[in-house]
């Protein structure tokens, strides 16, 4: 047996290959678990050029033209925004997310919209039966002519049909359940996922088909197997949301055709996903009027400021170590901010349980929400409400200083549009006056902010 046709042993997490069986040294070194390598037999034959790829030659840069209509708007505004203004012909988009978050629903709705502007669209359902998808389509009220449904798991069969069907949009639901018969490993294995991804990439590029792949995410938050796909595809989107909240966020983590800062916001309703054009209004809808512990903060998502309601509850702890429970924000960050509040502003939290939550299932990821967290905790401790028309913005440092944040003007404009009248912002941010019709007050320290808001 020559080295060429010997088996390789491959890690199913990261794709590491070894000539010997054992566990993956890369995953172990990265602090991960012991991952067993899986044997892969060589393929019988391998053509050097993948089918469907036209031969290309080097050409001078100035001679390369771009077609204007290369981008197709799907008609779902929130999706188009995240894609960078529509989906690009011949591009490969991976949509990852937990099972049940609504990936199939989103793509079926996108398929309908796409089929209206660029038919036909082929929806390959490798996970559910045609009847199951039909049921979902009925629920969503979808009966578009240009939308073709195909329950098929063998990707070579799909490939063989592409010339006859000539779809302009292709959806593979999911990449973990399709397979290429010439490979020995099971669907969902790294080898299958990578080779299926590569095959779809050549087909998408060669035939100019806008292609979407669904990928499931593991408990650890990585795209199972498809981690190897993230490098290959043009765009990676994550669809996130809490199962028991209606709110869903579509986020770009990689985009060869646009920015990765934009988010799309949806609400899962009876009739499918509904775009949320005004996320701030959505999050603030159920805000109690002037309740202690409730503060409105601003989170900048790309170019989009989203206002969120932060809630804190501080209560006398029973015996033992007091509890710190955080939902929708970084746990360690909150612990740090509570320590700053105690040490720099003299709010004794050592014997208090503290619970912090972002209302409506939202998330704050930015340090600009720091001051809001501190104020919410102090407000609950003192049992004194923060006025309902105030926005609180600022990063907090370990010495209790309030530091400048990016994009303040955008945040203030959004707050003014939603009827807020005042804002507490970092002192160093107010050097230039705002155009928003808000009463802006700069503060340099946490203590100053507390004095201004809670007296």
Residue 142 has a CB neighbour count (10 Å cut-off) of: 18
| CB nearer to Mg ion: pick between 177 and 299 | 177
Partner whose footprint covers residue 136, from Mg ion, ligand TYD, none (CB < 5 to 8 Å by kind): ligand TYD
Is 379 a binding residue for Mg ion by CB under 5 A? The answer is no
Q: Which two tokens stand for residue 308?
A: 């969120």
Partner whose footprint covers residue 231, from ligand TYD, Mg ion, none (CB < 5 to 8 Å by kind): none
CB 284 within 8 A of CB 418: yes
| CB nearer to ligand TYD: pick between 5 and 138 | 138
SS (H, E, C) 99-147: CCCCHHHHHHHHHHHHHHHCCCEEEEECCCCHHHHHHHHHHHCCCCCCE
Of 400, 401, 398, 438, residue with least CA distance to 298: 438
Q: Which two tokens stand for residue 177?
A: 């359940």
- Per CB under 6 A, residues contacting ligand TYD are 97, 99-105, 136, 139-140, 268, 270-272
Partner whose footprint covers residue 271, from ligand TYD, Mg ion, none (CB < 5 to 8 Å by kind): ligand TYD
CB of 177 to Mg ion, least distance (A): 10
Please identify which residue in 104, 191, 299, 311 interacts with Mg ion, judged by CB under 5 A.
104
Can you tell me whether residue 169 is helix, strand or coil?
strand
| CB nearer to Mg ion: pick between 37 and 148 | 148
Partner whose footprint covers residue 305, from ligand TYD, Mg ion, none (CB < 5 to 8 Å by kind): none
C-alpha span between 153 and 120 (Å, rounded): 20
Partner whose footprint covers residue 117, from ligand TYD, Mg ion, none (CB < 5 to 8 Å by kind): none
C-alpha span between 305 and 313 (Å, rounded): 26
CB of 165 to Mg ion, least distance (A): 22
Is 109 a binding residue for Mg ion by CB under 5 A? The answer is no
| CB nearer to Mg ion: pick between 215 and 264 | 215
Residues contacting Mg ion: total by CB under 5 A:
1
What strand order describes the sheet that includes 439-443?
Answer: 324-327, 352-358, 304-316, 294-301, 390-392, 422-426, 439-443
Partner whose footprint covers residue 343, from ligand TYD, Mg ion, none (CB < 5 to 8 Å by kind): none
| CB nearer to ligand TYD: pick between 103 and 344 | 103
Q: What does the binding site for Mg ion look like in residue numbers (CB under 5 A)?
A: 104
């Amino acid at each position: 047996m020559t080295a060429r046709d010997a088996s390789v042993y491959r890690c199913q997490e990261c794709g590491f290959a070894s000539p010997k069986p054992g566990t993956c040294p890369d995953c172990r070194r990265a602090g991960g678990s012991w991952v067993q390598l899986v044997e892969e037999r060589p393929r019988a034959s391998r053509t050097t050029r993948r089918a469907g790829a036209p031969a290309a030659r080097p050409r001078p840069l100035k001679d390369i033209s771009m077609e204007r209509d290369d981008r197709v708007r799907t008609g779902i505004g929130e999706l188009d925004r995240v894609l960078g203004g529509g989906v690009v012909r011949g591009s490969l988009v991976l949509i990852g997310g937990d099972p049940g978050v609504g990936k199939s629903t989103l793509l079926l709705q996108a398929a309908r919209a796409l089929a209206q502007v660029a038919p036909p669209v082929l929806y390959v359902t490798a996970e559910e039966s045609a009847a199951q998808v039909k049921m979902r389509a009925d629920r969503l009220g979808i009966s578009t002519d240009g939308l073709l449904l195909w329950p098929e798991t063998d990707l070579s069969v799909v490939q063989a049909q592409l010339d006859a069907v000539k779809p302009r949009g292709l959806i593979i639901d999911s990449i973990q359940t399709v397979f290429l018969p010439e490979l020995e490993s099971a669907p969902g294995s790294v080898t299958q996922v990578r080779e299926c991804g590569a095959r779809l990439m050549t087909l998408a590029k060669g035939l100019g088909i806008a292609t979407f792949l669904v990928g499931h995410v593991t408990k650890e938050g990585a795209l199972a197997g498809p981690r190897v796909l993230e490098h290959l595809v043009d765009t990676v989107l994550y669809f996130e949301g809490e199962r028991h909240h209606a709110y869903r966020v579509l986020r770009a983590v990689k985009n060869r055709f646009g920015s990765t800062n934009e988010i799309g916001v949806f609400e899962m309703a009876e009739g499918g996903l509904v775009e949320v054009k005004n996320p701030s209004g959505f999050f603030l809808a159920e805000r109690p009027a002037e309740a202690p512990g409730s503060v409105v903060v601003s989170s900048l998502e790309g170019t989009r400021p989203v206002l969120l309601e932060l809630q804190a509850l501080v209560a006398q702890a029973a015996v033992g170590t007091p509890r710190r429970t955080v939902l929708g924000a970084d746990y360690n960050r909150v612990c740090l901010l509570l320590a700053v509040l105690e040490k720099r502003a003299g709010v004794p939290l050592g014997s208090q349980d503290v619970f912090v939550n972002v209302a409506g299932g939202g998330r704050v990821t930015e340090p600009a929400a720091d001051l809001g967290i501190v104020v919410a905790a102090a407000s609950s401790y003192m049992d004194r409400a923060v006025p309902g028309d105030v926005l609180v913005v600022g990063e907090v440092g370990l010495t209790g200083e309030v530091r400048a944040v990016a994009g303040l003007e955008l945040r203030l404009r959004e707050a003014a549009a939603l009827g807020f009248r005042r804002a507490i912002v970092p002192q160093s941010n107010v050097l230039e006056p705002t155009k928003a019709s808000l009463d802006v007050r700069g503060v340099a320290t946490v203590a100053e902010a507390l004095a201004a808001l809670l007296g």
